[in-house]
Structure 1
Amino acid sequence: MTTPLALSAEEPQAPALPRFAWAHSPLLLAGVVILGIFVMIALLAPFLVADPTAINTSKRLKPPSEMFWFGTDHLGRDIFARTMVGTRNSLLVGFGVAISVTLLGVTIGLYAGFSKWGERIFMRLMDGLMAIPGVLLAIALVALLRGGLLVVIIAITIPEVPRMVRLVRSVVLTVKEQPFVDAAISVGSSTPKILWLHVLPNTIGPLSVQATYVAVSAIIAEAVLSFLGVGTPPEIPSWGNMMAEGRAYFQLAPWIIGFPGLMLSIIALTVNLMGDALRERLDPRLARRSGLK
């Protein structure tokens, strides 16, 4: 005879995320298309446009025309070519910082929210970093490590990590009180397994939104640092140093600042809208509230 009741020792599973459907998120689809165009520009621009560093003083400060779509700067360099090539550097910084901050923030935040000793150590370090203004810390790091694209990514990443850690920790503090986490503990699951298999999936919604904000913040921060002369080296075209070079000629040639600034605005708006759309699709509570399946 079989026993009438048998308690299952199978490990409980965290609530599943809603199925992703592009048709329910036209805003996200539009954002992905626009971002895809920017990525294609970043990849193909060096092979399709003129040399962005070529100097031709006889063509200096030319307005937009059929020959020079975005005009030329004070050295006769093609603004269109420099803007297109500058897209690559801005996206490299944005994606590089977003990925680095997310990986560090998730790793530190999970353990800081789940263990008391981790909270005491990591959160005090994060509080110390947050006490320093992000831009000043980035400038100090760039000055200390000597400029370069990798240095700029590191300098922007460090001030952004504490915010991601605090976000992940706050989500962990809420999720670890849920019944499925208590059930996982009761069947003997290890702490790393609980964190990565049960707690982490419930942070995807907030993480996706915060990662997009970090990417936008990084792109703008790189432009600010380059504008101040401590970011991307002048020989590498970027939107920030293009606007810095054009500020002295703003009244005579506003296109030097206008077109890089327009590209910066478009990419910032696009990624922010993608973040909001991702939150609605990936956060289980928002998805259920919206009736999405």
Structure 2
Amino acid sequence: MISVIQPPDAMALLSQLEAESLSNNAYGELYDLYRNCSLAVLNSGVQTDNAKELLDKFADFDINVVRNERGVKLELINPPKSAFVDGEIITSIQTNLYAVLRDIIKISTVSPRHILPTGMDESSLPHGKLITNIIFNILRSANILHAGKNPNTIVCWGGHSITDQEYDYAYNVGIQLGLRKFDICTGCGPGIMEAPMVGANFGQTKQNSSTCSFVGLTEPSIIAAEPPNAMVSDLVILPDIEKRLEAIVRFGNAIIVFPGGPGTASAR
């Protein structure tokens, strides 16, 4: 099975140089990482934390970045059937596939000096300030930062392997957040990263609201093991765990810490 996926609006128009760079870099040393993260997105909603099991199941999956007159399109070879409905890819999965291309191939190949103001040298900046600038650039490129918008993003933090009681509690908290039309940000996986989004979606539906967003902030080693949950509307892949944590703290306007394991405790 071969499927061609067109880009969403955010990446529908690229210069020829941008398209050439994406196509070339997609087949370089980043290819395996790019393929694995794309496969994880295509399995959005699948309950697993075993990356090897997922990779073995879809060992014949492949992805090609194909140049065209307006930029690029994606060619999927033997993708998971669960990502399609009546032969058409699910819209949120289509959007998040291009988020992988943006963050793994486009953003990660940009040198820090290219995102600094003219005349400013990276060696003259404290390392922490440079990292913060990189994170800001990634979030801005993902179009999740909006000037003039009231601060209303709630980060819901917790574990991926939780009890039914803990899931129900997080779900009900999510309902209350949704009724108040808050945007939700999580680590984008299952468990606590899913329950508040599901609840918030229900709460927002009761308010007839369609403007709220569900942001998933992750990093390559995590997304490969934990596919995004099906609620994530805006996926952002940070380069590593440290940048992911800083992005979560800086992006959110409030943080709710739910039950979790050692990872949740260490992040606190």
The TM-score with structure 1 as length reference comes to 0.25
- The structure whose residues are more often helix, as a share, is 1
- The structure whose residues are more often strand, as a share, is 2
The answer to which structure, 1 or 2, has the higher relative contact order (CA under 8 A, 6+ apart) is 1
The TM-score with structure 2 as length reference comes to 0.26
Structure of greater Rg: 1
